[in-house]
Structure 1
Amino acid sequence: MNVRIRRAERRDVDGMLQLVRELATFEREPDAVSVTPEHMADAGFGPHPVWVGWVAENDGAMVGMAICYERYSTWKGRRLYLEDIVVTSKARGQRIGERLFRECARYAVEQGHAGMVWQVLDWNVDAIRFYERHGASMDPQWINGSLEVEQLKRLAVP
């Protein structure tokens, strides 16, 4: 396999979104992806981009990707959040995930971030081992909370 890693471009969004859907299926949430290609493209390449990404290609076919964005911690300062790192099932075992992870780390260092954070499902032991092999600490104490748009709208009303 001759895999090339490069910075994501607008033309990659459809393929990246397909990988996001593949990840959602793997994470047992096949119907949870609601973002459109237009929204994803605007969020990454519009006038105010909020994410940066990389794609892995083998002979022109996308076989992996990573998406990150900046967040701010009142305890630690600017940190990079790794939203998704995905490698197609057919391309696993080729160190593509490691190369994508290193690109994110390199970007975090170049941008002066104080660290990089992400989430991983507690049953995804392969991913947990992957991160631990790279020196990551995993903290099981924090519980994630979220509100969807309808919940936000209800909360926003005084």
Structure 2
Amino acid sequence: MMIRDAKEKDIPRILELLKQVLQIHADIRPDIFIPGTTKYTIDELREILKNKETPIYVAVNEADVCVGYAFCQLREQPFSNNMVPFKSLFIDDLCIDQEARGQHIGESLFEYVKNEAKQLGCYEVTLNVWTGNTSAEKFYEKMGMRTKERQMEYIL
């Protein structure tokens, strides 16, 4: 298994994996997510791949087939005048093919993202996890992440 920057040739596999992660979210929040859809279109993925601020890292097998990805966004902080300026690498989406889970690919991909963040001069790596996605929460906690803030909602 190797981890590298995503290429345009990876888009079909990335779309398949996007469907897998969307289904997890749709199972947790059917009031928000539409099963069978993906977060991005082919054209949107092509644009994301061109942008240095939105790197996508892929884990590929021996045949150079994508078995996992991490969509990232380089962000400049702060959100207000009372915060120290710093860079953050936000993991927008991370998925390992359901057929390849349990092989420590997610751990390798996460470590790769952390190393990239260090090289980019980031202060932190952040992400959001939907309440109810307990396997993701456990994975990220195992990787050393801790809760930074909580977003709450009131559904009308």
TM-score (norm 2): 0.80
Say which of 89, 101, 104 aligns to 1:92: 101
What CA distance in whole angstroms lies between the structure 1 residues aligned with 2:39 and 2:92?
A: 15
What CA distance in whole angstroms lies between the structure 1 residues aligned with 2:100 and 2:71?
A: 18
Match of 2:61 in 1: 58
Say which of 17, 20, 23 aligns to 1:22: 20
**Unaligned stretches of 5+ residues in structure 1:** 145-158
Q: Which runs of 4+ in 1 moved over 3 A?
A: none
Match of 1:70 in 2: 74
**Unaligned stretches of 5+ residues in structure 2:** 27-32
**Residue type at the aligned position of 1:24:** L
TM-score (norm 1): 0.79
Is 2:118 the counterpart of 1:114?
no
**Residue type at the aligned position of 1:110:** Q
Farther off after superposition, 26-35 or 102-111: 26-35
What is the CA distance between 1:11 and its match in structure 2?
1.7
Match of 1:44 in 2: 49
Identity %: 26
Higher relative contact order (CA 8 A, sep 6+): 2
Distance 1:11 1:26, change over 3 A: same
What CA distance in whole angstroms lies between the structure 2 residues aligned with 1:34 and 1:109?
A: 27
What is the CA distance between 1:49 and its match in structure 2?
4.1
* Matched-pair contact (CA < 8 Å) for 2:72–2:89: yes
Aligned residues between the structures: 140
What is the CA distance between 1:26 and its match in structure 2?
1.5
